[in-house]
Amino acid sequence: MTIWWLAVILVSLVSAGIAFIWIITKLTHLSESSKSPHQQLLDAANTDVEHIFNEEFREELRNRGRLHFEKIIGENAMFLQQDLRLTTSQLNEYMKQELGTKLKEEFTKYEESITDAKQMAIDSIEKTKEIIEEQRQMMSQQMSSEVEAEKQRLIGRFEQNMADIINHYVLAAIGKQIDLSDQLEYILSELEANKQAIAEDIIHGA
């Protein structure tokens, strides 16, 4: 709105200047164009006018007009300067307000975006933590069961080996101490106990 006022003032100043120049030119031109008696009177009047409005007078008028014009221009320029300053200050104020508003809006949006992103990150971290916790528990259970199974397997192997070692030791220790003659009764009793099976083996094998 202030710019428009400035433009109107400038246009009005330029129009006033043009009108002044045009009046001066018209007056000069009119003084030379009439040649009728009336014209002659006019010429005579002009001549007189020339005598009155001679170059010095004209120059004086021009100077006065110029000074007046300069004065008007100066006044208008002052007004224009004042308006311009006012407009500039208003423009600055307006720009400040607009920029402030825009920045505030943008910052608000930015903050909202950051808050959303933060919330999403927090949710994601929470989910990840839950998943990790579940996997940790699952792996813990699996590890426990595997450790237990391994422990049982090792105990089983240890017992097996222990039994083999003891057997081997006992066999090695007493093997040479047992006389075959002392075993005769045991051997005959075992044979007697398994007589049927041996006999069947012989019959069916033959």
Partner 1 sequence: MAHKELVLPLRVISQGDAMRLKRELEALNDYVHQSQLRDSGAELKTLPKPSLALNDLAQENSLNLLKSEDREAAIGFLAQLVENAPIIHISFASEPSSTFMTKITRWFRDQIDPRILLNVGLEPSIAAGFTLRTLNHYHDFSLRQQFSDQRELLLNGIRESQATNPL
Residues 186, 187, 188, 194, CA torsion sign: positive
User: Do 191 and 198 meet the contact criterion of CB atoms below 8 Å apart?
Assistant: yes
Nearer to partner 1, 143 or 163 (CB): 163
Nearer to partner 1, 126 or 200 (CB): 200
Burial 63-97 (b: 16+ CB within 10 A, else e): eeeeeebeeeeeebeeebeebbeebeeeeeeeeee
Q: What are phi and psi of 21, to 5 degrees?
A: -65, -40
Least Å distance, CB 164 to partner 1, is 9
Nearer to partner 1, 37 or 175 (CB): 175
Least Å distance, CB 153 to partner 1, is 15
Nearer to partner 1, 142 or 194 (CB): 194
Residues 95, 96, 98, 99, CA torsion sign: positive
**Rule CB under 8 A: which residues touch partner 1?**
159, 162-163, 166-167, 170-172, 174-175, 178, 180-181, 183-184, 186-188, 190-192, 194-195, 197-199, 201-202, 204-206
Least Å distance, CB 174 to partner 1, is 6
Least Å distance, CB 147 to partner 1, is 19
Nearer to partner 1, 12 or 194 (CB): 194
The C-alpha atoms of residue 33 and residue 29 are separated, in whole angstroms, by 7
The C-alpha atoms of residue 53 and residue 58 are separated, in whole angstroms, by 6
Least Å distance, CB 143 to partner 1, is 24
User: Do 34 and 43 meet the contact criterion of CB atoms below 8 Å apart?
Assistant: yes
The DSSP 8-state label assigned to residue 180 in this structure reads: T
Least Å distance, CB 175 to partner 1, is 4
Q: What are phi and psi of 163, to 5 degrees?
A: -65, -40
The DSSP 8-state label assigned to residue 176 in this structure reads: T
Nearer to partner 1, 10 or 162 (CB): 162
